[in-house]
Amino acid sequence: MRYIDHILQPGETVIRTTTIHWIVYLPGIAMGVVALAALMAGSALPLFLPIAAVCAAVGLAMLFHAWFRRWTTEIDITDRRIVYKHGFIRRHTVEMNMDKVESVDVDQSILGRLFNYGDVVIRGTGVGFEPLHNVDAPLELRNSVTAR
């Protein structure tokens, strides 16, 4: 069950739910490609076989870490507040009432524009959210916050 389902107030509705973009898997995939290249080179030179094994193990660890981070991160917009949660055993949550939001900043690289991900900073009166990195569909998230 999602975190937001546990903390919804009576009459509060969820407008948008998002998480981290799939691009976080890219370093692990790149390490897998390096492992595959080392394995292919290992057929000619056996020296590359241990390198392929190490690269494959590191790539799998990176993929697991990215999956776990994506699985344990929730960003929810309701009609009353914004809720950001990450972590599994050691959970970190930040909530901000919608009437306290001053601005929503979106920062996208060229790659982020192509694949529709970016960093979002929500600034509120007195305090703001920490930057939310690699958010999936950041412009839609911003529109969900600002169009109330």
Task: Return the minimum-mean-pLDDT range out of 10-14, 43-47, 120-124.
Answer: 43-47
**CATH code at 125?**
2.30.29
Answer yes or no: do 58 and 89 share one domain: no
Q: 126-146: per-residue pLDDT in tens?
A: 777 778 899 999 999 999 988
Answer yes or no: do 79 and 137 share one domain: yes
Task: Return the minimum-mean-pLDDT range out of 1-5, 78-82, 124-128, 136-140.
Answer: 124-128
Answer yes or no: do 96 and 38 share one domain: no
The answer to whether 4 and 78 are in contact (CB under 8 A) is yes
- What was the pLDDT predicted at 129? 73
pLDDT band of 76, cuts 50, 70, 90? very high
Answer yes or no: do 142 and 79 share one domain: yes
Which of 52, 68, 84 terminates a domain? The answer is: 68
Answer yes or no: do 46 and 10 share one domain: no
Answer yes or no: do 56 and 98 share one domain: no
Mean pLDDT of 80-86: 92
The number of domains in the chain is 2
pLDDT surpassing 80 at residue 43 = no
Query: How far is the CA of 137 from the CAs of 2, 76, 123, in angstroms?
Result: 20, 13, 18
Q: Which residues pair with 124 in a beta bridge?
A: 101
pLDDT surpassing 70 at residue 10 = yes
The closest of 134, 137, 135, 105 to 121, measured between CA atoms, is: 105
pLDDT band of 148, cuts 50, 70, 90? low
Answer yes or no: do 7 and 79 share one domain: yes
pTM of the model: 0.85
Answer yes or no: do 90 and 137 share one domain: yes
**In which domain, by residue range, is 45 found?**
24-68
Task: Read off the DSSP letter of residue 23.
Answer: G
